[in-house]
Chain A
């Protein structure tokens, strides 16, 4: 009985929501003005960044990105606090089965190229698809591969803390530079350069590199903490 009532109300809700979302009209031109044109023009003319998504994420709405970076920082911090007492020493952790020789040599071969790809993605965040979050995640997958392949592979927690903190401080310092020079937090203080150049977009590229380092360090830290949890 209870299940039937839940099912019926969910169906009604579902039909209602489908009706709403089909009526929104995605992909059609249904509002005359809006912020989108300002973003398209500003990204190309003022900021000289060819990837509009990046210019929105890092500059127009850079404050949100600072918040999102903090969310990730908080998540890794809270997780570290919760699992604090349950941490194993290096070499004893929940993944106990040994890897085969193929996986071990393959991982060693792949690891540098994964890190390189990640670095490429965040360094070119303002020119091509991708950016700090994506690049950082790619690098973290490289560390994940090493951690699950080699039983005694370890990452220094202190070193991760350093990378994480310095990257965060760099992000905020660049923002504060804008605050002191142009009276507006995150305003661009470096020359914009030429569209499609590696050194274009002023602070945007540098901030995305900082975000990349921060995300990579945080995700690696999270993976490391969870892998070393006692059962």
Chain B
């Protein structure tokens, strides 16, 4: 073991405070230090993930006050799975964007890498914390770094997107604070485990309203329909790799928060029809909208929203198989959508409008990027032998086990839509003539490394899903074991 969970938060914050100083002396340190910190976080999370398979969940108290008095961090198989996935993706985003805008003067670059590092830190914090108000603070950190990254290019459109996001995010924070206030006023505690333990003491009326506020607030970040109006603009206007970060890191953290609130705090594991309905609505609306888009990044954004809807559905099924499917889908979505955003950015790099028709004939000029985009497209549709296949299969079997035939029909028919719009792009890449007088931008070496490693992971998991099913299984079991979670935290002694 190389450390404890609190270092996931403290080391990046320390680095963020020091970087402005080192940047004055050595300009390149503003790019390099975030990478070192993210690598350290990845090593820490992987070693902790191995460690907990032997010793069980690691719970760390802060300032020496045991829960429920103080704040605690929980590194369980479930939260550890999320944290490791998000940090890994964050590191890849860093690798991908290391050389991007190389000649930019140091100040905006300094902002970019610090904001990226804190975006990952905040998301990891959301996942690890065992305290609902602490979660609010981390959601704020994620939100503000998100606004900053969205407006990175300081163009008119990106400012508009960032403002939209800022507006939605601030309203969401207000509702989250109200929800936390209602819960505290009734139960006198902010610790998630103790809230879960005492939840039956709350009157039904207040339970309902606080749950609605929670869902309203977290749904904005989780891109749940109809709260996701900001998402397509943000994905389009933010720098390419940041789209991958939003899809793979922020949306994942918010999904975790949704599940923690619904499963653990409000104990709705038996009646999750709400999640299924919202998820299906998100899925259908987003996928049909994606079909109509003529800009590549917008299409990817809507597809990303749709996938998160599918994850909601899988959680909503509520059985062990359903949660297993949801976690597998989350894993797939993180790596596949990351690859699609990474490679898609290069396919339309030199174009101003970034229309789908701009990818025409790119197969000849950017062969590696095109192949990687195609792998991503096939994988997200759910074709074997890519990892996406196992995720889709898992949710279909979970639905079949719970005898939800209509659900299977909807998922399959919407998947056809998905196939249509992704294959349309792949068709254009390979079988359309290239438009005249168009330049291409060759990907930098570090971008290639990031994309190829994602492509390899997609293929390897496609052939050997057993490599990660063990972790996902343990994570699903950990989420289902609610009484164990409460007992672990409230009886900790150190």
Q: Are B13 and A172 within 8 A (Cβ)?
A: yes
> Which residues of chain B are near A109, meaning CB under 8 Å?
none
* B-side contacts of A2, CB under 8 Å: none
B246 smallest CB distance to A (angstroms): 16
Q: Which candidate, B46-54, B181-189, B324-332, B439-447, is the interface stretch facing chain A?
A: B181-189
| B190 / chain A contacts, CB cutoff of 8 Å | 35
Given A61-B70, A179-B6, A185-B62: A71 and B144 interface contact (C-beta under 8 Å): yes
CB distance from B318 to the nearest CB of A (A): 28
**B147 an interface residue at 8 Å Cβ cutoff?**
yes
Majority SS at the chain A contact face: helix
Instruction: Encode A180-192 as 1/0 by CB contact (under 8 A) with B.
Output: 0011111110000
Kindly list chain A residues whose C-beta atoms are within 8 Å of the C-beta of B138. 67
Q: Which residue of A lies closest to B17 (CB)?
A: A168
Note all chain A residues with C-beta closer than 8 A to B160. Answer: none
Contacts A73-B16, A172-B17, A178-B63 known; A85 to B154 CB distance under 8 Å?
A: yes
Q: Does chain B have a CB within 8 A of A153?
A: no
**CB–CB B144/A80 < 8 A:** no
Query: Nearest-CB distance from A105 to chain B (Å)?
Result: 36
Once the chains bind, are B61 and A184 in contact (CB under 8 Å)?
yes
Q: Contact string, A72-98, partner B, CB cutoff 8 A, digits 1/0?
A: 011101101110110000000000000
Measured as residues with beta carbon below 8 angstroms from the partner, the interface class of chain B is 35 or more
For chain A residues 177-211, which have a beta carbon within 8 Å of chain B?
178-179, 182-188
Q: Are B187 and A64 in contact (CB under 8 A)?
A: no
Residues of B close to A81: CB separation below 8 A = 107-108, 111-112, 115, 148, 151-152, 154
Q: Are B68 and A35 in contact (CB under 8 A)?
A: yes
Does A136 sit within 8 A of B, measured CB to CB?
Answer: no
Interface mask (B133-145 → A, CB under 8 Å = 1, otherwise 0): 1100110110011
Q: Is A8 an interface residue (CB 8 A)?
A: no
- Please pick, from B17, B134, B147, B205, the residue contacting A63 in the complex, using a CB distance under 8 A: B134
Chain A contacts for B134, CB-based, 8 A: 61, 63-64, 67
- The reply to whether A67 and B137 contact each other, CB–CB distance below 8 Å, is yes
Most buried by A among B13, B191, B203, B205: B13
A142 to chain B, nearest CB (A): 23
In the assembly, what is the distance between CA of A176 and CA of B20, in Å? 21
A74 to B115, CA, bound (A): 7
- Asked if B205 and A33 sit within 8 Å, CB to CB, the answer is no
How far is it, in angstroms, between the C-alpha of A75 and the C-alpha of B145 when the chains are bound?
8
Q: Identify which of A38, A67, A84, A184 contacts B141 (C-beta below 8 A).
A: A67
| Least Cβ–Cβ distance between B217 and chain A, in angstroms | 15
Residues of B contacting A186 with CB < 8 Å?
62-64
Q: Which of A113-121, A143-151, A158-166 contacts B (4 or more CB under 8 A)?
A: A158-166
Least CB distance, B373 to chain A, in whole angstroms: 30
Q: Which residues of B contact A63 (CB under 8 A)?
A: 9, 62-63, 71, 134
Q: Which A residue's beta carbon lies closest to that of B137?
A: A67
Q: Is B432 among interface residues, defined by CB-CB distance under 8 A? A: no
- A169 interface residue, CB < 8 Å from B? yes
How far does the Cβ of A177 sit from chain B's closest Cβ, in whole Å?
Answer: 12
Contacts of B494 in A (CB 8 A): 183
Q: Which residues does chain A contribute within 8 Å of B10, judged by CB atoms?
A: 172, 175-176, 179, 185
Does A131 sit at the interface, judged by CB under 8 A? no
Complex Cα spacing A47 to B155, Å: 51
Q: Which residue of B lies closest to A169 (CB)?
A: B17
Q: A64 to B114, Cβ gap below 8 A?
A: no
Which residue of chain A lies nearest to B181 when distances are taken between CB atoms in the complex?
Answer: A24
Kindly state whether residue A111 has any CB partner on chain B within 8 Å. no
* A84 lies within 8 A of B108 (CB): yes
**CB distance B65 to A77 under 8 Å?**
no
Please report the C-alpha to C-alpha distance between residue A142 and residue B118 in the assembled complex, in whole angstroms. Answer: 31
Q: How far is the CB of A14 from chain B (nearest CB, A)?
A: 13
Q: Give the chain B neighbours of A78 by CB distance below 8 A.
A: 111, 115, 144-145, 147-148, 151
Contacts of A162 in B (CB 8 A): 21
Chain A residues within 8 Å of B141, by CB: 67, 70-71, 74
Check B2 for interface membership: any CB of A closer than 8 A.
Answer: no
B158: min CB distance to chain A, Å:
9
B148 pairs with A74, CB closer than 8 A: yes
Instruction: Check A62/B62 contact, CB under 8 A, given A23-B205, A68-B137.
Output: yes
Query: Is B206 in the interface zone, CB < 8 Å from A?
Result: yes
Q: Separation in Å of the B214 CB from the closest CB of chain A?
A: 14
A35 touches B154 (CB 8 A): no
Beyond A23-B206, A71-B140, is A82–B148 a contact (Cβ under 8 Å)?
yes
- A38/B69 contact (C-beta < 8 A), A64-B133, A172-B14, A178-B64 known: yes
Assembly CA distance A192 to B159 (angstroms): 49
A31-B188, A81-B108 are known contacts. Are A182 and B148 too (CB-CB below 8 A)?
no
Q: Which of B180-211 contact A (CB under 8 A)?
A: 182, 185-191, 201, 203, 205-206, 209
In the bound assembly, the distance between CA atoms of A186 and B134 in angstroms comes to 15
Q: Which residues of A contact B388 (CB under 8 A)?
A: none
Chain B: minimal CB distance from A208 (Å) = 14
B18 within 8 A of A: yes
Q: How far is the CA of A187 from the CA of B494 in the complex (A)?
A: 13
Most B CB contacts (10 A, CB to CB) among A42, A68, A186, A188 go to A186
Instruction: State which of A24, A60, A77, A178 has its C-beta within 8 Å of the C-beta of B114.
Output: A77
Confirm or deny: A20 has a beta carbon within 8 angstroms of a beta carbon on chain B.
Answer: yes
Which residues B6-29 have CB closer than 8 A to chain A?
6, 9-10, 13-14, 16-18, 20-21, 24
B125 within 8 A of partner (CB): yes
Instruction: Specify which chain B residues have a CB less than 8 angstroms from the CB of A71 in the assembled complex.
Output: 137, 140-141, 144
Known A66-B13, A80-B107, A82-B154; judge A60-B63 contact (CB<8 A): yes
Residues of B within 8 A of A70 (CB): 13, 16, 118, 141
Q: Closest A-chain residue to B69, C-beta based?
A: A38
Q: Which of A1-58 contact B (CB under 8 A)?
A: 16-17, 20, 23-26, 30-31, 33-36, 38-39, 42
Quick check: is A134 within 8 A (CB to CB) of the other chain? no
* A67 with B70: CB separation less than 8 A: no
Q: Can you list 20 A-B contacts with CB-CB less than 8 angstroms, sorted by A residue number?
A: A26-B185, A34-B189, A35-B69, A35-B188, A35-B191, A63-B63, A63-B71, A67-B137, A71-B137, A71-B144, A73-B16, A73-B17, A77-B148, A78-B111, A81-B108, A81-B112, A82-B159, A161-B24, A168-B17, A169-B17
Shortest 10 CB-CB contacts between residues of A and residues of B: A34-B188, A78-B148, A168-B17, A81-B111, A67-B137, A187-B64, A186-B63, A31-B188, A184-B64, A74-B144
